[in-house]
Chain A
Amino acid sequence: MTLARLAARAVMLGCTLLLAACASFTPSNPPLAKVQPDAGYRFERLERGDNTDELFVIVTFSGGGTRAAALAFGVLEALRDTTIECRGRRRALLDEVDVISSISGGSFPAAYYALRGEKTFEEFPKRFLYRPVQSDLTKLLFSPANWLKLAGASFGRSDLAAELYHREVFDGGTYADVVARNRRPFVILNATDMTTGTQFPFIQDQFDLMCSDLAGVPLARAAASSSAFPGGLTALTFQNYAGTCEYRQPAWVQRAAQDHALRVNPRRTASAENRLSLAAAGPARPYIHLSDGGVADNIGLRGPLAAITSTNNPWSVLRLMNEGKVEKLVVVVVNAATNPATGRDQTASVPGLVDTLTTAATVPLDNYSFDTLELLRATVNEFNEEARLVDGCRNLAARKGAQCALDIPAPRRVELYPVQVAFEYLGSADERAWFKNLPTSFELPRETIDKLRAVGRRLLNEDPEFQKLMKVLKGTPP
């Protein structure tokens, strides 16, 4: 090949890459002509079937790559194999699960279960858990055929990953398929809005704000957004069509925003302001960039906590409690957090840049997760305290004599069962250390995955709150 021909080819390649870079953005989320509150992926629209509200079960799956996916899958299997007595008949505890909230790696089994239900147990291990996803992604990155796409300013590594998941994991499934299944659990995949730093749930209520139809979004894209680990993967871009679908904010939003100066509930006000910002006509933010859900909350528990403590939530459990529909509330937190051993403190050397940056990126996440779990504990205590206070006053008054008995009106009573599945609860220090040193990757050896599935089942079974629940529900554990 002559030098001239080589140069011509280089120029051609350069021009092609330049054209690709200038290629226009093709949104993966279609617009919504008019908001339809009685259509789309919404909690209240899902067929309840035999699933009772009296026993309300929320399950959360944390981030942590394939480690988190395998642990979550192990817990799903265990819930399927646990039978309880409900309304006089025996049934699987899994059939009582009302909501699954997931992050990153945990979003893969969650999304698959939303799409395929029972078939998940047969298909998911082969489709995702035992697949060398990380190697597949690397191969795609090094394939010249994809360089053109990657040269585009609005196409990143996560878009490539989403294409792979769409083809190989979710078999082309979209939210339209999940809507068509029309049954609980309500599965919420969570990403992070990079600009506001807030959680971005893949539910129609959220997409209403952007005047977009979630039904047209591939599950793969939701899972890819939820697991777009900063650095390794890129954020995914969604089009915001706000202001084009006659959307009206719920009544509480304006009130909560007006509370700003009063500072009566900054969390509620922030949530309202976030909704207003996303739905601002124009739109004020035409493109929304979504990153890993773990950036906002790595255990997927913040959304459920908001639903438990607020009536202003698209799937408010507090509302159901006020209506007297919920008697027992179970929250199963599946947390695949690790704590890798380090030799840092064995030497006087100044920690390197990578070590320092990794610490800076992960420590706040871990601390936030710790606080989120503490918030769950505080919420449970608040409900229990409320009941104890009312009972205490009644008993105190009654002790003075029947004539002193007080009729204290009290809110509907709810029993809470916070169940935690986490490596830190493993009894054996060696075993705990082994699991806590597993890497975060989309590829793990088969034996490791099998161990994670088994330990998920065991940890669920050993949790004191789960054991208490089993007793109350005459359950047969897995």
Chain B
Amino acid sequence: MEYVKVTFPTRRLVYIDEEENGYTNEVLRVEAGTHVFELGTVANYRPGSRTVTVKDTTVLEPMEIAFFKKDES
């Protein structure tokens, strides 16, 4: 089991491999391997998607996958 935390300033739906999978800023469980992460509802975030190979994480050190608001640096 691997662990990721998709970060975003507000609570948003997280899509992993095009499927709903919980919310931003929460620790989510995924299978090891390459996954595509996106956020739900409004496309006012960047990057549009992130393709990440998730491996070697622990529940105490989940992999952080950051998204930002489009107007933020």
Q: Which residues of A contact B (CB under 8 A)?
A: 250-252, 255-256, 258-259, 262, 264-265, 268-269, 309-312, 316, 318-319, 321-324, 382, 386, 389-390, 393, 408-412
CB contact list, B1-41 vs A, under 8 A: 1, 3, 5, 16-22, 25-36
B17, B26, B58, most chain A CB atoms within 10 A = B17
A398 nearest CB across to chain B (Å):
16
Question: Once the chains are docked, how many angstroms separate the CA of A312 from the CA of B30?
Answer: 9
Q: Which of A255, A309, A324 touches B36 (beta carbons < 8 Å)? A: A255
Selected contact of A255 from candidates B3, B5, B51, B62, CB within 8 Å: B51
A322 touches B28 (CB 8 A): yes
Cβ A252 vs Cβ B29 within 8 A = no
B1-A309 in contact (CB<8A):
yes
| Residue of A259, A269, A316, A322 with highest tally of chain B CB at under 10 A | A322
Q: How many Cβ-Cβ contacts under 8 Å join chain A to chain B?
A: 91
A–B pairs, 7, beta carbons within 8 Å: A250-B19, A252-B33, A258-B34, A262-B34, A309-B1, A311-B30, A322-B28
Known: A264-B32, A318-B29. 7 other contacts (CB 8 A): A264-B55, A311-B35, A316-B19, A319-B20, A410-B27, A411-B3, A412-B26
Encoded as 1 (CB less than 8 Å from any A CB) or 0, chain B from 35 to 72 comes to 11000000000000001010100111010000000000
Q: Which residue from A250, A251, A268, A322 sits with its C-beta under 8 Å from B32?
A: A268
Chain A residues whose C-beta falls within 8 Å of the C-beta of B16 in the assembled complex: 311
Residues of chain A within 8 A (CB-CB) of B32 are: 264-265, 268
Please, how many residues of chain B have a CB less than 8 angstroms from a CB on the other chain? 29
The reply to whether A408 and B33 contact each other, CB–CB distance below 8 Å, is no
B residues lining the A interface (CB < 8 Å): 1, 3, 5, 16-22, 25-36, 51, 53, 55, 58-60, 62
Contacts of B29 in A (CB 8 A): 311, 318, 321-322, 411
Q: Which residue among B21, B22, B31, B58 has the maximum number of chain A CB atoms within 10 Å of its CB?
A: B31
In the complex, the answer to whether A264 meets B28 with C-beta atoms within 8 Å is no
Taking the closest CB of chain B, its distance from the CB of A317, in whole angstroms, is 11
Selected from B25, B31, B60, the residue in CB contact (under 8 A) with A265 is B31
Tell which of A252, A323, A393, A408 touches B35, judged by Cβ atoms closer than 8 Å. Answer: A252
Q: Are B17 and A250 in contact (CB under 8 A)?
A: yes
How distant is A357 from chain B, measured CB to nearest CB, in Å?
Answer: 38
Query: In whole angstroms, how far apart are the Cα atoms of A312 and B60 in the complex?
Result: 23
A259 to B52, CA, bound (A): 11
B18 and A268 within 8 A (CB): no
Nearest to B32 among chain A residues (CB) is: A265
